[in-house]
Structure 1
């Protein structure tokens, strides 16, 4: 019996891949005034981005303890081993909720094999880790093998992204009001990274074309075996931009497969429309496995 994979909706995985690998996705919550929605269940990301362009301000909340408990309990009753790969603990309380659920459910089902891993990743960066582990799970790898691989992929998954408007990062306290104001006037776009689960600004570039060019340069500087690995791109309701970036990656590196997905509502509420992100490995798994 293969190990059942769980993740949360912040992984921003395309639906066809979720279905292909039979991944259980638990939704984070998105709040619009007095309305509460489940990410990608009762709120479509495209509707969220449309609302943001119209001036709506959304808030988010971690996954519900009860929802996760109820989703895991049937597997505990069946004796089906489960691995939950969680959103970065530096950006959400979702991982901590997972640990609480694990501790409580094991009190009732002490023989249940359940592990919870903090990926320290976000959006499709988390999703790319999940996909790699899903492939290994289908090969019948043990829990110990999956945990070791997940730790490696999470540690070496690069997140390079830019946002179209700094005001969304301003709301989250990621940039200063002065930086957001000047950025808006001068069309300065930040390039950011995720390091140890935290968002880190690394550069500022003027103009979208130059941002894309610099992102390609960063991939070249940091990536390995780019002509062999799968690269991920997630976007804030800008498929045309994502496909343009994918074409640049294929031309530069001969990358065989690129996964493109729209950023989900729980992440998009903080990054905003027009966000563009690239995810790739900076070390080869086979070199250490």
Structure 2
């Protein structure tokens, strides 16, 4: 039997899992106060506070607590897979590697090179191959990502700017032009701009277009598509996406990711499994 440890940027719909997942929560700081993501900070409370916050940031999961969790799981499970947010976005992957080094024969650490809802879709792919008896490696994850696409719109660039995910010049230009970007994560795990529009409706149209193009280009016969959103008041922008792609699963984007995107975020991730 195997188990998974994920950081709290891993966002999943309310579905039953084939293998147990345990969280290593990131720390979220709002106006100088520390919160433990998904433990003493609910997603809705977080977005409510973020609207009014002057300062906000995140930090890694606690290394000692994460190692204690890993040791405990190794008492009950034959193997533990540690799935990390992109190493280009956080130091979590390096921390996972460091604490798992003494147990490397029974622990596999993987850089999923993305964040939020795409992590869940990649987990599904990993489980698919695990049940076929395929060895789970970083190379396999990189191959899975070729048939996985995250597309999300953000209505404000200020959070990406404050979090260091885009430069000040781009953020300033975006504010002047009133640009609403559509973002993805590239093969290295870095946030990239893939399209833009000035209207909410245009963002939805472009996500649909980009999603359809990706499915066709990759030749995906039966895509699995997961929708994600930040603040509850932006969930409504998913309606057309849900209807167009016949989406069944929806997940709310966690505080660990929402710190960088802001509350005005919504989108989809397309996968093969």
Shared fold per TM-score greater than 0.5: yes
Asked whether the equivalents of residues 170 and 176 of structure 1 are also in contact (C-alpha less than 8 Å), the reply is: yes
In 2, the alpha carbon distance for the partners of 1:95 and 1:145 equals 16
More helix per residue: 1 or 2?
A: 1
Paired with 1:259 and 1:146, the residues of 2 have a C-alpha distance of 27
TM-superposed deviation, 1:241: 1.6
Partner of residue 219, structure 1: 211
CA–CA distance in 2 between the matches of 1:84 and 1:38? 19
Q: Which residue of 2 aligns with 1:254?
A: none
2:183 paired with 1:187: no
Question: Following the alignment from structure 2 to structure 1, what is the Cα–Cα distance between the partners of residues 138 and 87?
Answer: 17
Q: What TM-score comes out, normalization by structure 1 length?
A: 0.83
Give secondary structure in 2 for the equivalent of 1:193: strand
Structure 1 residues 197-219: Cα deviation after superposition (integer angstroms, max 9, x where no partner) = 00111222111101110111111
- Distance in 1 (CA, whole Å) between partners of 2:136 and 2:94 is 23
Which residue pairs with 1:232 in the alignment?
Answer: 226
3-state SS of 1:54 partner: coil
For the residue of structure 2 that corresponds to 1:7, the secondary structure is strand
Q: Does 1:245 align with 2:241?
A: yes
**Kept after mapping to 2: 8 A contact 1:126/1:154:** no
Secondary structure of the structure 2 residue equivalent to 1:72: helix
1:159 aligns to 2:160 (yes or no) = no
- The count of residues paired between Structure 1 and Structure 2 equals 268
The alignment partner of 2:78 has SS state of coil
- Residue segments in structure 2 that go unaligned for 5+ positions in a row: none
In the alignment, is the contact (CA less than 8 A) between 1:193 and 1:201 conserved in 2? yes
After TM superposition, give the deviation of residue 35 of structure 1 in Å. 2.4
Aligned twin of 2:263? 273
Out of 27, 49, 52, the residue aligned to residue 50 of structure 2 is 52
Question: Secondary structure of 2:250's match?
Answer: strand
* 1:121 paired residue number: 114
Unaligned runs of 5+ residues in structure 1 are 107-111, 251-256
In angstroms, what is the RMSD of aligned CA positions?
Answer: 2.4
For 2:113 and 2:266, locate their aligned partners in 1 and report how far apart those are by CA, in whole Å. Answer: 19
Q: Aligned residue for 1:172?
A: 163
- C-alpha distance in 1 between matches for 2:259 and 2:16: 22
- Shift in alpha-carbon separation, 1:38–1:221, aligned structure 2, 3 A: same
For 2:81, the equivalent position in structure 1 comes to 83
Match of 2:199 in 1: 207
Please name the residue that 1:253 is paired with.
none
Change (3 A) 1:22 1:177: same
TM-score, normalization: structure 2? 0.87
Cα drift, residue 181 of structure 1: 4.2
CA–CA distance in 1 between the matches of 2:158 and 2:89?
18
